[in-house]
Amino acid sequence: MSYTTETADQVSSIAGEKYKYGFVTDIETELAPMGLNEDIIRFISAKKDEPDWMLQWRLRAYERWLTMEEPEWAKVEYPEIDFQDAYYYAAPKSQKDGPQSLDEVDPELLRTYEKLGIPLHEQQMLAGVAVDAVFDSVSVATTFRKELAKAGVIFCPISEAVKDYPELVQKYLGSVVPYSDNFYATLNSAVFTDGSFVYIPKGVRCPMELSTYFRINQANTGQFERTLIIADEGSYVSYLEGCTAPQRDENQLHAAVVELVLMDDAEIKYSTVQNWYPGDADGKGGIYNFVTKRAACRGRNSKVSWTQVETGSAVTWKYPSCILQGDNSVGEFYSVAITNNLQQADTGTKMIHIGENTSSTIIAKGISAGRSQSTYRGLVRMQPGAKGGRNYTQCDSLLIGDKCGAHTVPYIENRNRTAQIEHEATTAKISEDQLFYCSQRGLTDEEALSMIVNGFCKQVLQELPMEFAVEAQKLVGISLEGSVG
Amino acid sequence: MTNMLEIKDLHAEVGGTEILKGLSLTIGEGEVHAIMGPNGAGKSTLSYVLSGRDGYEVTSGSITYRGQDLFELAIEERAAAGIFLGFQYPVELPGVSSTTFLKTALNAVLRQRGEDELDAVQFMKRLRVHTKSLNISDDMLRRGVNVGFSGGEKKRNEILQMALLEPYLAVLDETDSGLDIDALKVVADGVNALRGPTRSMLVITHYQRLLDYIVPDFVHVLAHGRIARTGGKELALELEEKGYGEFADAPHGSEAA
Ligand SMILES: Nc1ncnc2c1ncn2[C@@H]1O[C@H](COP(=O)(O)OP(=O)(O)O)[C@@H](O)[C@H]1O
Ligand SMILES: [Mg+2]
């Protein structure tokens, strides 16, 4: 059945007469019509063959979203987004539509891959080059699935989980980030198209690091991903998100939601390397990355660790948070945010201490170059019950050149006298002296910058899984290209 | 035989002020030359011009290094071509461990010279040879480059870099400043160990003391932007005795400073 007829059938069977008109011409293009309304949401839900409860949830989110205002408190500036001037559903591109070989891929993009040392077959996958079925990675992905299934781990696209594991999804989806949470999360709840679902059963240590990377060939990651990870009692998983390659995208807005749920003694390590298209040197184009990530440490002794390396996007608005509800639970946030040219990043975390003896650590490193602006914004809150709660926060900013800005905005709320909160902040600048010293020892300015900035970020980068850390180090250098000299 | 370095009638400005005013100097292969002179004479300026630092603008004259026009090379290319500058004030690089820095620098230079880069094991082997004789502790190697180093540690670290990079021309700018006599001996031993028939050195110092340990073939006095006098090592002793008084006034025929 061709794509067009399949879609038309589904739409008419689920939505009835009403939709016949709206979609007839547009579906030819494999896009839902432009704009956002209830019909579009029904279209998405139908396209994904979702059960009714999922559609209803989306519709409730949409209704709520209509009443909400875009947040304006972040230190970022961008032209007003016209939410009606966007497509909310684009069918996964068929292999025929994608580039047929690397010759058809932007050479600039390939140059970056090369610098990152990404092997050729992976370059093809990342660039969306049609890969045939006997291709290595496909069998690799299948092997992973088998091994995971043996351990009882569920790792699949969330659209599949909605159908295959409805009890789990219904129970936990929106339980950490409710559909009414904030403007972008609510929008995501209404229109999310895909993302990952992970369930680690009791007592299971996930036998491998899970990565969205392994799903790249199955689905083009959408602009509104939704990820849900549930770590049951005594389980452990390390999850890697985002490939370390730029993903060019004409569409501007990327609003993802990530929810993590941790039971007693569970541990999740969530690592992100974000390198969306940052726009050009004049600030034209680029992704608006408005992301809501939150972990609920529900169980005693549970531990969540967010590590992020943010180098891409024109505007980043992102605060991976930890709700430390279980006694003795631990939250960690390790962040590197690099902005160059006209990029803006407003990022940080929230540590909400609810249970007794909960502890949190925040290490945030901001690097600003060009005419960019970088803000650390973080909240540490000790609730009245957070007896013996502890937080240590360290925010370091590094400036390259004198046209950029770095800002630190810590919010500290302590409602328990036995809790301790420590905050340290530093700002430094890369000097001409330092660059000259390095050049005199044989390094180019770019090599020197990369070395100095990597040194500055070491504390965070060492939290990344090994293979990721190596790529992240190279990425740090690449993202600062052209910022001196 | 080509000379290591030929500086001819060099004029250079810093921030619009002419500092070097017709300096000429020739250094042969394997020779050690000392440059002495009062503070502010332009000694460090000369070292920066040789290494190509931004802001040190050559207005006329020429520098030929191993038969090549030096001005055609960028800073890092000069480093790779074998020019090493031991800094008067070594720069701190917080967060960058000395080991990482040394390895990155050595590999950058090897790469530009068309030689194979060293892996971690090969590098550590080579490093060990020098850290021992220069009395450089593992702790120092782990710390950020020059961060929290004492004066002596900083200067030993400079000599360590020189030993690793194996330059043809080493310019050592006041390597003796801020060192007590024991530290001075360690540094001087390190430098002397690197003397050889194909390596030349330009040792900049304000005091004669260093030259008791690093015995130069020639001593020059830099004053008013030129080489005002040249002699053997006995010139250093004479200066020690008389001071720089005779060079304090503008020499005949030059414009007032
Ligand atoms: N960045 C600068 N801008 C302006 N003048 C400078 C600068 N650096 C050095 N100078 C001047 O150049 C002269 C020579 O300085 P320098 O080479 O450091 O002397 P020395 O090393 O012999 O003590 C001094 O008069 C000093 O004030
Ligand atoms: Mg000086």
C-alpha to C-alpha distance for A73 and A25, rounded to whole angstroms: 41
The residue whose CA has the least distance to atom 8 of ligand 1 is B14
Minimal CA separation from A475 to chain B, in Å: 17
Q: Do A455 and B95 touch (CB under 8 A)?
A: yes
| pLDDT at A7 exceeding the cut of 50 | no
User: Measured from the CB, is residue B39 less than 6 Å from ligand 1?
Assistant: yes
Nearest to B76 among A434, A443, A457 (CB): A443
**Candidate from B10, B11, B19 with most ligand 1 atoms within 8 A of CB, to mutate:** B19
Residue B2: what pLDDT?
77
| Nearest to B143, CA basis, from B153, B135, B151 | B153
| pLDDT at A391 exceeding the cut of 90 | yes
C-alpha to C-alpha distance for A102 and A482, rounded to whole angstroms: 26
Q: Do A442 and B53 touch (CB under 8 A)?
A: no
Token pair 């298209």 is found at A277
Query: In chain A, pLDDT over 90 holds for what percent of residues?
Result: 47
Which ligand lies nearest to the CA atom of residue A432 in the structure?
A: 1
By the 8 A CB rule, do A277 and A303 touch?
Answer: no
Distance A433 CA to ligand 2 centre (A): 15
Chain B residue with CA closest to A485: the answer is B54
By the 8 A CB rule, do A339 and A367 touch?
Answer: yes
3-class SS at A450?
helix
Average pLDDT, chain A: 81
User: Measured from the CB, is residue B17 less than 6 Å from ligand 1?
Assistant: yes
pTM comes to 0.83
A264's tokens: 């007693």
C-alpha to C-alpha distance for B108 and B32, rounded to whole angstroms: 27
∠ CA B144-B145-B151, nearest 5°, is: 115
Distance A72 CA to ligand 2 centre (A): 53
Higher pLDDT, B256 or B234: B234
User: Measured from the CB, is residue B14 less than 6 Å from ligand 1?
Assistant: yes
Nearest to A436 among B53, B109, B112 (CB): B53
Q: What is the 3-state secondary structure (H, E, C) of A196-225?
A: EEEEECCCCECCCCEEHHHHCCCCCCCCCE
Least confident of A29-33, A280-284, A402-406, B130-134: A29-33
Can you give the length of chain A in residues?
Answer: 485
| pLDDT at B25 exceeding the cut of 60 | yes
Largest CA distance in chain A: 74
pLDDT band at B114 (very low <50, low <70, confident <90, very high): very high
A33's tokens: 């019509």
A99's tokens: 């580039």
Q: What is the pLDDT of residues A342-383, one digit of tens each?
A: 888 889 999 999 999 999 999 999 999 888 889 999 999 999
Residue A28: what pLDDT?
35
Residue B154: what pLDDT?
92
Which DSSP state fits B89?
A: S
Inter-chain CB pairs, A–B, below 8 Å: 72
Q: Does A442 touch chain B (CB under 8 A)?
A: yes
A108, with CB counted inside 10 A (0-12, 13-18, 19+), is: exposed
End-to-end, the C-alpha distance of chain B in Å comes to 38
Q: What is the pLDDT of residues A380-390, one digit of tens each?
A: 999 999 999 99
Give me the domains of chain B, ranges plus CATH numbers.
3-247 (3.40.50.300)
Question: Average pLDDT in the A11-28 region?
Answer: 30
Task: Give the up-direction half-sphere exposure of residue A295: CA atoms within 13 A in the CB hemisphere.
Answer: 33
Type and span of the H or E element at B107: helix B98-112
Residue B135: what pLDDT?
83
Question: Average pLDDT in the A449-459 region?
Answer: 91
| pLDDT at A30 exceeding the cut of 50 | yes
∠ CA A165-A168-A171, nearest 5°, is: 140
pLDDT band at A220 (very low <50, low <70, confident <90, very high): very low
Q: What is the pLDDT of residues A155-170, one digit of tens each?
A: 888 888 999 999 999 9
Residue A214: what pLDDT?
44
Q: What is the pLDDT of residues B130-156, one digit of tens each?
A: 998 888 889 999 999 999 998 889 999
C-alpha to C-alpha distance for A360 and B127, rounded to whole angstroms: 40
Interface of chain B against chain A, CB under 8 Å?
Answer: 51, 53-54, 74-76, 79-80, 84-85, 87, 90-97, 100-101, 104-106, 108-109, 112, 144, 161, 165
Residue A130: what pLDDT?
45
C-alpha to C-alpha distance for A120 and A136, rounded to whole angstroms: 12
Distance of CA A12 to the CA centre of its chain: 34
Cα torsion A131, A136, A141, A145: sign: positive
β-strands B56-65, B68-69: how paired?
A: antiparallel
For residue A458, the chain B residues in CB contact (below 8 A) are 95
Q: Where are the domains of chain A?
A: 3-135, 150-434
| Nearest to A273, CA basis, from A115, A471, A480, A449 | A471
Can you give the length of chain B in residues?
Answer: 257
Name every residue whose Cβ is closer than 8 Å to that of residue B173 and which is 6 or more positions away in sequence: B43, B44, B47, B85, B86, B87, B88, B204
For residue B95, the chain A residues in CB contact (below 8 A) are 452, 455-458
Q: What is the pLDDT of residues B70-89, one digit of tens each?
A: 999 999 999 999 999 999 99
Residue A193: what pLDDT?
81
B81's tokens: 């071509």
CA distances from A62 to A54, A71, A162, A225 (A): 12, 17, 19, 16
pLDDT band at A115 (very low <50, low <70, confident <90, very high): low
Minimal CA separation from A459 to chain B, in Å: 9
C-alpha to C-alpha distance for B6 and A474, rounded to whole angstroms: 41
C-alpha to C-alpha distance for B124 and B107, rounded to whole angstroms: 13
| pLDDT at A219 exceeding the cut of 50 | no
Q: What is the pLDDT of residues A246-290, one digit of tens each?
A: 455 454 678 889 999 999 999 999 998 887 777 777 777 777 888
pLDDT band at A2 (very low <50, low <70, confident <90, very high): very low
Least confident of A220-229, A372-381, A405-414, B57-66: A220-229
3-class SS at B219?
strand
| pLDDT at A22 exceeding the cut of 60 | no
Question: Average pLDDT in the A110-130 region?
Answer: 61
pLDDT band at A5 (very low <50, low <70, confident <90, very high): very low
Which residue out of B47, B76, B106 would a mutagenesis test of the A interface target, given it has the greatest number of A Cβ atoms within 10 Å?
Answer: B76
∠ CA B110-B172-B80, nearest 5°, is: 15
Q: Do B51 and A440 touch (CB under 8 A)?
A: yes
Residue A48: what pLDDT?
86
Question: Average pLDDT in the A462-478 region?
Answer: 82
| pLDDT at A307 exceeding the cut of 80 | yes
A165's tokens: 């594991």
Question: Average pLDDT in the B100-119 region?
Answer: 94
For residue B96, the chain A residues in CB contact (below 8 A) are 451-452, 454-455
By the 8 A CB rule, do A86 and A249 touch?
Answer: no
Question: Average pLDDT in the A192-206 region?
Answer: 92
Residue B27: what pLDDT?
96
Residue B107: what pLDDT?
95
Least confident of A137-146, A331-340, B42-51, B216-225: A137-146
Which residue out of B44, B145, B147, B162 would a mutagenesis test of the A interface target, given it has the greatest number of A Cβ atoms within 10 Å?
Answer: B145
